[in-house]
Amino acid sequence: MTRLVGVLGGAGAVGRTAVERLRGFGLPVRVGGRDLARAGEVARAHAAEAVMVDLFDDASLAAFCAGCSVVLNCAGPSYQVLDRVARAALEAGAGYVDAAGDLVAADALAQNPPAALARHPAVFSAGLMPGLSGLLPRLLLDGSPVARLDVYVGGSVEISAASAVDALLTRGPKFGHALAMWRDGRVAPHSLAPLRSITLPGFRGRVHAVPFLSTEMIGLASAAGLTELRNYTVYATDNLPQAFATAWADEGQPPEAHADAIVDAAQRDVAAHGRHYAVLAYARPRVGSGLMPRRVLLRTPDSYPLSGVVSAVAARQVALGSVIPGAHFASEVLDPEAVAKELAADPLVSELALPSR
């Protein structure tokens, strides 16, 4: 068994890192992209195979997936890709990992699940957020009596036009609830307010933290039996929150019409504060337990390449048969300790503070 991993979008910011890490794991890699020259550049740098592929052409996609043990999708935009690559991979007898994907893609696959899903896994949201944002907090839920979990994810990085549209589409109950928290076994709507100009460990200067109870966090809170969970998206300035608010208020226009404004807002943040991104989680024990609060903190200079690291780790676990068949989300199926071990040794992680045992 070759355990060949096909990486779609292998010349992008996420895919390049994924290819490099997969080759570092000793796995053979096929790099796919519309631009064969760019794919070839990455392939030559890492002794991999380069293939031109159009993921919106059925025959081209099927040819790319043929012979792969795992297909890792780092291409987008996610709102257009949905489950088409997952279906092609499964049809070719390969496992599937998506660096993005989210609930909408998983739902599309579930509407008419292919028979091969009973034999192979499909792992969605294997990036930083969602993905690592839901995985790292699980290191705090090791049997200790946790009553409340607070999670902060964000920072200052550039956003591509495709990612901007994906972000603009992450609205509604399938994605989560703005200004909500998890309390006493259910979503408590409109229960939190944004935190303005605060300081947080791992984040630069004063930041703004906007409450958003994502479906990833709802699943985490429900599975762990938490009394309370608060989840915040952290921004370096008000630039991005204002740009998102303006776009969402303009219901008569497609999200693509506001992508440039999102890209520009992110670029202004980076120009003013530099690239940085962090995941911070606090676990607060139940009253009377005698335990102290614990935290986990990860810092990285850029979220996109680190998403490539997470997706590569997920692809290796699938290639090694460590993930059971069926559709999964990365934060729910990957081993958090195994992922943390990989991250601790990765040069893209500038800090990883884990809870003491």
The amino acid at 117: L
Give the other-Cβ count within 10 Å of 24's Cβ. 12
pTM of this prediction? Answer: 0.94
- Tens digit of each residue's pLDDT (9 = 90 or more) over 283-330: 988 776 667 889 999 999 999 999 999 999 999 999 999 999 999 999
pLDDT at 38: 95
Q: Residues 277-287: what's their mean pLDDT? A: 90
Residue 32, pLDDT score: 96
> Does 1 have pLDDT greater than 60?
no
Is the per-residue pLDDT at 18 higher than 70? yes
- What's the pLDDT at 286? 75
Say if residue 73 is in the same domain as residue 23. Answer: yes
CA distance 75 to 5: 15
- Dihedral sign computed on CA atoms, order 90, 91, 94, 97: negative
In sequence order, which residues have a C-beta less than 8 Å from that of residue 347 and are 6 or more positions away?
none
* Residue 4, amino acid: L
Q: Which range among 41-45, 74-78, 93-97, 214-218 shows the weakest confidence by mean pLDDT?
A: 74-78
Q: Are residues 181 and 279 in the same domain?
A: yes
When pLDDT is averaged across residues 342-350 and rounded to a whole number, the result is 96
CA angle centred on 176, ends 194 and 211, rounded to 5°: 10
| Domain span at 213 | 145-290
Instruction: List, in order, residues 6 or more apart from 186 with CB less than 8 Å away.
Output: none
Q: Which pLDDT tens digit goes with each residue over 194-226?
A: 999 999 999 999 999 999 999 999 999 999 999
Taking residues 232-255, what's their average pLDDT? 93
Both structure tokens of 271? 């120009």
Residue 296 domain-assigned?
Answer: no
Q: Are residues 11 and 114 in the same domain?
A: yes
Triad 15, 16, 19: Cα angle to 5° = 85
Q: How many domains does the chain have?
A: 2
Tell me if 62 is assigned to some domain: yes
Q: What is the mean pLDDT of the chain?
A: 94
Q: In CATH, what number is assigned to the domain containing residue 284?
A: 3.30.360
Q: Are residue 35 and residue 120 in the same domain, yes or no?
A: yes
What is the spatial distance between Cα 209 and Cα 199, in angstroms, rounded to a whole number?
A: 10
> Can you give the pLDDT at residue 129?
94
Query: SS3 for 8?
Result: strand
37-66: average pLDDT: 96
279 and 151 assigned to the same domain: yes
Using 50, 70 and 90 to split pLDDT, how confident is the model at 79? confident
